[in-house]
Structures are given as C-alpha cells and as structure tokens.
Amino acid sequence: MSRLRKDPRAERATKTVAEAGRRPRLDLGRREASPASGRPRRDPWREWAASLAGETVTGPERKRYDRSQRQMNRADAARFAKERQSLDATDISPGQPALRVVEAPAFAVFAVVEAAGGRLSRFDRQVLGAARLLADAGDGGGAVVAIVPESVEALGEAGADRVLALPGAATPAIRASMLRSAVEEHGPRHVILAEEGDSADIARRLAACLGEPLFADVEHLTARQAVRAIRGGRAEIGLAPPRLMTIGEDRAKPHEAVPCEARPLEDAAAARLDDPAILSVEIIPGDPAKLALSETDFVVSAGNGVNDFAAFRDLAAVMKATPGASRVVCDAGLMPRQAQVGASGTVLAADCYLALGISGAPQHLQGIAGCEHVIAVNTDLHAAMIERAGLAIVQDAQLVMPALLKLLQERGA
C-alpha cells in the first residue's frame, strides 16, 4: 500500500496566520482533514473542554468493541443484508421497521420455549433460532410457531412467525397433553425443545403420547442433518432432522436477521385440557437473596468502588436482585465468597447484570460473558466494564445507589 508523504512545510503554511502589523503566528487549533481518509481530525482536548462546559460534542461516532459475543459472522451478515434488501424492495414503506411476513407457509416448525416471566432466555432464543433454520431450509418456506406458556415479549425479533399460547399449563404433564393436541391439529414438520428442565420432560412425555421416537440432545443441527452423541460421547449419530428433537444449550444460533411477524394463532383444543389430579397450583418465587448466583436472572454486584454496603444491600433487595461482588470485595471479607462473580467465582447465566464500581478485569468479565444486558456504574469513563456495558452511568456509586433507591421507592417498588 502506498501512503501519501507528509509535507511538514506545507502543513505549517496552512496553519500560519498573517495579520497586518503583527508577526505571523501559528493557529494550532485548526483541524484540517486527514490526507488519507479525508475526515476532519478529532481534537480530544477541545471535546473534553466542551463536555466540561456542558456543550454537546458532535462528530463521528467513536468505534467500540462489542464484547457481548453476539456479533454476526460474515455469512449471517451477508444473509441479513440480502433479506433486508429484498424487503426494502417490496412491502416496506419508509419509516416502517422491516418485517418478514410468511403469509401461506408450506409447513410449520414448532419451537417450545419456557420464557419464564414473559421474557425469552438465551436458550429460548437458540431454540427459536434452530426452528428458524429448519423452517427456512424447507421447500416453499415454512413458518416457525413459538409455543409459549403465557404472553411473551420480542418473539418476532427471535424469529417466530406465529405464536401459540398454551396458558394455564402448570405441570409438564398438562403441557405435554396440550402440546399433543396442538401437534395433532397443526401437524408440524418438526417439534423442537430445549434439552433442559421442564422442556426435556415435556419432550419425553410428548414422544410417549404420540408414539414417536425422540432424537434427544442434538449437538449439531443443519438444514440436512441433526447430530448427537451416543455411547457416552464416544461416537455420534447423524440423521436427517427428525420430527421430535431436543437441542442442547449453545448448539444453535439465535435468529439475528429481519424480525418476523409473531402473529397469534388460535387453538381451541388446548383450552379444554386439565389434570384432575392437581387441586391447586401456586407459583412461589424464590428469595433472590438466597438464590445461587448461577441460577438467578438478575445480579447486582459491588466492586472496589463501593463502600456503602448498607445501601448496596438495600438496593439489591428493592430491585429483587441477587447480590454479587468482585474478588477484591470478597477477599476483603465485605461479601461472602459464594457471591464472587468471575472465572474463579461463579459464571453467571443471568439476563441482566448491574456492576457498581467494578473495573471489569478479564477474570471478572469471563463470569458475565453470557449476560445479555450489562449496566455499569463507574467513575472512570475508560473502565473495561463501561466498554462491555450496554448502558453506563459515569458517576460515584455512592450517589447512584441512594438515587436509584429513591426512584424505586417513589414508584412503589
């Protein structure tokens, strides 16, 4: 690559200001365009002074690392661009968000998701992503039908064309019989569930009810093949994707392209079902303060930048979050060792992580690699945790904690 040679004399001449009756002087504040890129050069000192004076600093957006591990690879990015192009060319009016509509699907692929609390977990998104893969692979184009226990947010973004709610399904036994009637009514080409918790149980019950084989714990899924380990992991078996299957965690990619329609689907048969053996059902939420860090959805953590631990504990309690800490805080005996988040503590599976006064050392970041939403409170704008966070508050944690508490109390939390 050939680069333009610098000409210091010409650069100096452009900055020289000649005024009548005075000696020529250099205007060092002048920012001429970079000869290589043509973009104006940034002046960090001037931006800093402007931000201190409360002025808005404009200019090209700064690049930042995305450490959420959700980047698209090249193939996905190309597919995404292609889909968006074709949608732009058809039914999308300017200002409207792009939406993928499958009007008359050739077949259906059921994706059974847990969606605890009405929100999709990472694993739920992967199950929907696997279903999307199978639906897009079929001839004529299929539709992904998300089977949900209640009303769930953002199903379209996760790749669902249709949504079938099976409410009141308290136990795996009832959910399996509801699912069976839905399968008999809609005749999906594939039914895919997570190889975890209730979903794994439902999958086995459904297979027994339908009298069909279950291909459990798929480790690798493509449009043509589903592969799983056999003989204790010493060998593997691959088949054309079968009708009933469960998939392991982190074995499929979530859908990241254009959002789908998520149109509600009516199902009359499901509402009739009940289990006479169950007299009453009450879901009792666990106490977040006593839950294991690896099992909780929302963690609030204190680092070396926190010294008001009474406010920290109050905040965690009001937010119904599980308290965590960095190693420095646990080493100092300010929090118990089991609260330590990180490579040598607990690796979280939480959806949301609020880090108060934590620098974001690599060992700590390893513990939150799977967290979808990270919020950082730190006085140092350049802390690695701020770079990792989706939302950052550059402020003293001792001021932020009571302010948040006050806000939550005003809102009656």
Which residues contact ligand FAD (rule: CB under 6 A)?
303-305, 326-329, 340-345, 357-359, 361, 363-364, 367, 377-380, 383, 396-398
CA angle 320, 322, 324 (to 5 degrees): 145
Q: How far is the CB of 61 from ligand FAD (least distance, A)?
A: 24
Identify the CA nearest to 383 among candidates 373, 372, 393, 370.
393
In the complex with ligand FAD, the residue whose CB is nearer, 164 or 358, is: 358
In the complex with ligand FAD, the residue whose CB is nearer, 188 or 345, is: 345
Q: How far is the CB of 296 from ligand FAD (least distance, A)?
A: 17
Q: How far is the CB of 393 from ligand FAD (least distance, A)?
A: 9
What does DSSP say about strands 352-356 and 373-378: parallel, antiparallel, or unpaired?
parallel
In the complex with ligand FAD, the residue whose CB is nearer, 203 or 339, is: 339
Q: How far is the CB of 338 from ligand FAD (least distance, A)?
A: 12
In 315-357, beta strands by DSSP E:
322-325, 352-356
Taking the C-alpha atoms of residue 81 and residue 71, their distance in angstroms, rounded to an integer, is 14
Q: How far is CA 34 from the centre of its chain?
A: 38
Q: How far is the CB of 362 from ligand FAD (least distance, A)?
A: 7
Phi-psi label, residue 82: left if phi above 0, alpha if psi -120 to 50, beta otherwise? alpha
Taking the C-alpha atoms of residue 150 and residue 114, their distance in angstroms, rounded to an integer, is 9
What does DSSP say about strands 263-264 and 162-165: parallel, antiparallel, or unpaired?
parallel
SS (H, E, C) 173-220: HHHHHHHHHHHHHHCCCEEEEECCHHHHHHHHHHHHHHCCCCEEEECE
Q: How far is the CB of 342 from ligand FAD (least distance, A)?
A: 2
In the complex with ligand FAD, the residue whose CB is nearer, 121 or 340, is: 340
In the complex with ligand FAD, the residue whose CB is nearer, 125 or 327, is: 327
Taking the C-alpha atoms of residue 64 and residue 17, their distance in angstroms, rounded to an integer, is 37
Question: Could you tell me which residues are beta bridge partners of residue 322?
Answer: 299
3-state secondary structure of 312: helix
In the complex with ligand FAD, the residue whose CB is nearer, 131 or 335, is: 335
In the complex with ligand FAD, the residue whose CB is nearer, 129 or 342, is: 342
In the complex with ligand FAD, the residue whose CB is nearer, 68 or 398, is: 398
Q: How far is the CB of 326 from ligand FAD (least distance, A)?
A: 3
Q: How far is the CB of 357 from ligand FAD (least distance, A)?
A: 4
Task: Return the DSSP state at 67.
Answer: -
In the complex with ligand FAD, the residue whose CB is nearer, 241 or 305, is: 305
Cβ–Cβ < 8 Å for 148, 125:
no
Q: How far is the CB of 388 from ligand FAD (least distance, A)?
A: 12
Taking the C-alpha atoms of residue 391 and residue 276, their distance in angstroms, rounded to an integer, is 48
Taking the C-alpha atoms of residue 307 and residue 310, their distance in angstroms, rounded to an integer, is 9
Identify the CA nearest to 126 among candidates 227, 259, 253.
253
What does DSSP say about strands 143-148 and 108-112: parallel, antiparallel, or unpaired?
parallel
Q: How far is the CB of 45 from ligand FAD (least distance, A)?
A: 22
In the complex with ligand FAD, the residue whose CB is nearer, 264 or 402, is: 402
Q: What is the CA radius of gyration of the chain?
A: 27
